[in-house]
Amino acid sequence: MLTCIYEASASKRGHTNIKLVLEPIEQYSLLDQYIHVDADLKKAECVMKSIREKISPQVYRELAYASMAYEEEILDLIYRVLLVGFSYGADVLNMVMYREIMQFNQIRRRLGREVNHFQEFVRFHEVEKGLYVAHIEPKSRLVVALGPIFADRMPSEHFMIIDDIHKEALIHPKDEMYYLKPLNDSEYEQLLKTEEMNDTYTDLWKVFFESIAIRERANEKCQTNLFPLWTRKHAVEFKDNT
């Protein structure tokens, strides 16, 4: 991504004539010319450095975070934000009168909510004694963002969060730093089974979940609003016992 930005700003085409898109491209337009860009560590570092120095490390962090979002326009937006940023400096994200800043902020907030959502609804299964595994299906590639959250929550446990969509896993060995690992098919197959491994505490949780609701206040609509059906797939309390 950073390499793209480097190429775009180094080329002499003029900012308004450039749009950055992520591959794979689903619909090619006839009028535009496509230039494929391969990642290049040096160029990327160059961009990274100039964002940190000319804008601010905070803004760099915000941009890096936002780059996880699934929205396809995100790369182009980051580029636009940078253009504004190089003239305004560290305050760039407050410049809400620019449409691109507004749009960027919206995506950033949505992404924040998505991460939040998984922080709340990830469910771990104890696969063997002391090893906990969870599966998620996020729209964005956000499993990295869950790393610091859960490493702080359970610093002294072995655990693993698997992104079923993007086929990557966040792995946290007990008392150590977590890391990200792309999964190949056979690894993935093996890990898929972990979701069927329920134990007594899964059942106890279901018992608790049933009995904690107050019948006189039943409100399915509200429950569905707060916890939409499509997101319940991995939540054990909504799974049948069968």
Partner 1 sequence: MRDMQRLADMQIDSKSELQKEKTLEEKLEILSDAAKYDVACTSSGMDRAGKKGYLGNSCASGVCHTFAADGRCVSLLKILMTNHCEYDCKYCKNRKSNDVERATFTPDEICRLTIEFYKRNYIEGLFLSSGVLKNPDYTMEKIIEALRMLRGTYKFNGYIHVKAIPGASKELIYSAGLLADRISINMELPTQDSLSKLAPNKLMANIIRPMNQISGTIAMHRLAIGKSARMERAGINDHLMNSIWGKEVNRIGTDATDRANRLLPGLQTDADAFLFPADKKDLNLGRAFAPAGQSTQMIIGATNETDLELIRTTQNLYKSFDLKRVFYSGYIPVNEDDALPEPGTPVPLLREHRLYQADWLLRYYGFFADELLSEEHPFFDDAIDPKCNWALNHLEQFPIEINTASYDMLLRVPGIGPNGVKKIVNARRYTKVDFEMLKQMRITLKRAQYFITCNGKMLYKIPLEHRFIRNRLIDVDSVEIADIGGQSVQYKQMNLFSDFNMSCTG
Q: CB nearer to partner 1: give 70 or 88.
A: 88
Q: CB nearer to partner 1: give 65 or 121.
A: 121
Binding flag, residue 124, partner 1 (CB under 8 A): yes
Q: 114 near 142, Cβ under 8 Å?
A: yes
Binding flag, residue 154, partner 1 (CB under 8 A): yes
Binding flag, residue 212, partner 1 (CB under 8 A): yes
Smallest separation (angstroms) from partner 1 to the CB of 25:
29
Give the 3-state DSSP-derived string for the chain, with helices as H, strands as E and coil as C.
CHHHHHHHHHCCCCHHHCCCCCCCCCCCCCCCCCCCCCCCHHHHHHHHHHHHHHCCHHHHHHHHHHCCCCCCCHHHHHHHHHHHHHHHHHHHHHCCCCHHHHHHHHHHHHHHHHHHHHHHHCCCEEEECCEEEEEECCCCCCHHHHHHHHHHHCCCCEEEEEECCCCEEEEECCCCCCEEEECCHHHHHHHHHHHHCCCHHHHHHHHHHHHCCCHHHCCHHHHHHHCCHHHCCCCHHHCCCC
Q: CB nearer to partner 1: give 35 or 213.
A: 213
- The 85-104 contact track toward partner 1, x by CB under 8 A, reads ---------xxxx----x--
Smallest separation (angstroms) from partner 1 to the CB of 224:
9
Q: CB nearer to partner 1: give 11 or 116.
A: 116
Smallest separation (angstroms) from partner 1 to the CB of 165:
19
Residue from 41, 214, 229, 230 binding partner 1 (CB under 8 A): 214
CB atoms within 10 A of CB 88: 14
Q: 81 near 101, Cβ under 8 Å?
A: yes
Binding flag, residue 64, partner 1 (CB under 8 A): no
Residue from 123, 167, 233, 239 binding partner 1 (CB under 8 A): 123
Q: CB nearer to partner 1: give 95 or 183.
A: 95
Binding flag, residue 178, partner 1 (CB under 8 A): no
The stretch near partner 1 (CB under 8 A) out of 60-68, 79-87, 125-133, 165-173 is 125-133
Distance from C-alpha of 28 to C-alpha of 163, rounded to nearest angstrom: 29
Residue from 25, 16, 19, 26 nearest 5 by CA? 19
Residue from 46, 84, 151, 165 binding partner 1 (CB under 8 A): 151
Binding flag, residue 203, partner 1 (CB under 8 A): yes
* Site for partner 1, rule CB under 8 A: 94-97, 102, 119-126, 132, 134, 150-157, 175, 201-205, 207-209, 211-223, 225-227, 235, 237
